[in-house]
Amino acid sequence: MVGVATPPVLDVAPWRDFSAAACGALEALHQRLGWDVWVVTRVVDDRQVVVHAHPPDVIRPGTWLPWADTFCRAMVAGEAPRAATVTAAVPAFAKRRTGPASRIGAYIGVPIVSPEGELFGTLCAFGFRARPRGAARDLPLVEAVARLLSTLIAAGMTPSDPPALRD
């Protein structure tokens, strides 16, 4: 009908797929909490692959690191906390601060898991400088968003394959 206003609920309509939900979550976290870059990653074999990032021009999808060298692996293994406002002060992170990780001054990350409880990947953010200690209070929201992404996977919203790997 001509002249009919758009219902005010369409701005919160469901996302069409996991990719759209992940991108929407990253954008919302970036707007609400800040941090320099937010990513959803997937662990594939011995690599951690960036699937989605916000802002998208900081880390490109398909970028990967060896899983053994990542902050997320240390976090998942319980060797490091989920939130570190000064990565240099956390021994498990400090020893990983080489190569691309040398620019990471602060980290927050949470696993994303499959319905069987297996690791899919992570939801994480990086600060290129240390963050105030109060930034660790962001963790419960990040955990809730990671759990929602895990729930979407459990509900059958299949994530797409990781983008082509970039060296």
Count CB atoms within 10 A of the CB of residue 148.
13
Locate the domains of the chain by residue range: 17-154
Find out whether 30 and 138 touch, Cβ atoms under 8 Å.
Answer: no
Q: Give residue 1's pLDDT band: very low, low, confident or very high (50, 70, 90).
A: low
pLDDT in tens, 133-149: 999 999 999 999 999 99
Q: What is the pLDDT of residue 98?
A: 67
Torsion angles phi and psi, residue 3, rounded to 5: 85, 5
**DSSP-H helix ranges across 13-138:** 18-33, 71-76, 91-94
Average pLDDT over the chain, rounded to whole? 89
Structure tokens at 97: 């601060």
Q: What is the pLDDT of residues 36-60, one digit of tens each?
A: 999 999 999 999 999 999 998 898 8
The confidence score (pLDDT) of residue 2 equals: 60
Q: Which CATH architecture has domain 17-154?
A: 2-Layer Sandwich (3.30)
Q: How confident is the model at residue 122 (pLDDT cuts 50, 70, 90)?
A: very high
